[in-house]
């Protein structure tokens, strides 16, 4: 046999094997069985999932590290839906929680509970120090920098959504909490 024929004969099984593997891969990707997600979800499934849940996107979530007492969770809530979404409660395993806002009262910035945080349709709301935030009350344990905490948001329609936020050291805002935990204030340097 000439050398070119032997080399061609050796390449043929490899080429056939590669072609068979490619065919199998195309067949598997195109398959849509109930126990394996399709490579491309059907348009109706993705539209109904986001519209039906009313769930928000949560960008850059973080928690202020604290040894005891109170701290807060922050981030940006993104609403890509066609309707406003209202967060009515938040929960975590390390403490009871409240929705809070900062507002001017008698010439001082004071923190107060808030009934709900509204995220308008096709908009976002930033939870930040000195503004709206998720308040962790009476910590059961220290929240140290690098810790990851899991939170559950509850919406006005009763649906819930979980997210995880990492704890970071943060010295801004300089909150001062009174013994009643009801009226924290900010120092003028905040």
> 154 and 115 share a domain?
yes
Q: Give per-residue pLDDT as tens, 132-171.
A: 999 999 999 999 999 999 999 999 999 999 999 999 998 7
> 88 and 161 share a domain?
yes
> 6 and 68 share a domain?
no
> 83 and 18 share a domain?
no
Q: CB count, 10 Å around CB of 144?
A: 11
CATH of the domain at 62: 2.60.40.1890
Within a domain: 47: no
Cα angle at 132 between 187 and 47, to 5 degrees? 160
Domain with 18 in it:
1-40
> 67 and 142 share a domain?
yes
| CA distance to 38, 74, 123, 130, per residue, from 26 (Å) | 12, 44, 39, 53
Total domain count, the chain: 2
Within a domain: 176: no
Q: Give per-residue pLDDT as tens, 42-91.
A: 333 223 233 334 479 999 999 999 999 999 999 999 999 999 999 999 99
């Amino acid at each position: 046999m000439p050398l070119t024929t032997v080399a061609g004969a050796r390449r043929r099984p490899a080429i056939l094997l590669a072609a068979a593997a490619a065919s199998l891969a195309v067949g598997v990707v195109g398959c849509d069985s109930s126990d394996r997600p399709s490579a491309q979800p059907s348009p109706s499934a993705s539209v109904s999932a986001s519209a039906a849940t009313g769930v928000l996107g949560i960008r850059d979530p973080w928690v202020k590290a604290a040894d005891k007492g109170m701290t807060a969770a922050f981030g940006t809530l993104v609403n890509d839906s066609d309707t406003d979404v209202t967060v009515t409660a938040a929960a975590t395993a390390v403490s009871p929680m409240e929705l809070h806002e900062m507002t001017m009262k008698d010439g001082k910035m004071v923190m107060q509970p808030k009934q709900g945080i509204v995220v308008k349709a096709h908009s976002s709301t930033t939870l930040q120090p000195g503004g709206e935030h998720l308040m962790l009350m009476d910590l059961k344990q220290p929240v140290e920098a690098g810790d990851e905490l899991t939170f559950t948001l509850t919406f006005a329609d009763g649906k819930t959504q979980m997210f995880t936020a990492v704890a970071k050291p943060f010295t801004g805002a300089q909150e001062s909490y009174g013994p009643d935990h009801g009226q924290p204030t900010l120092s003028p340097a905040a």
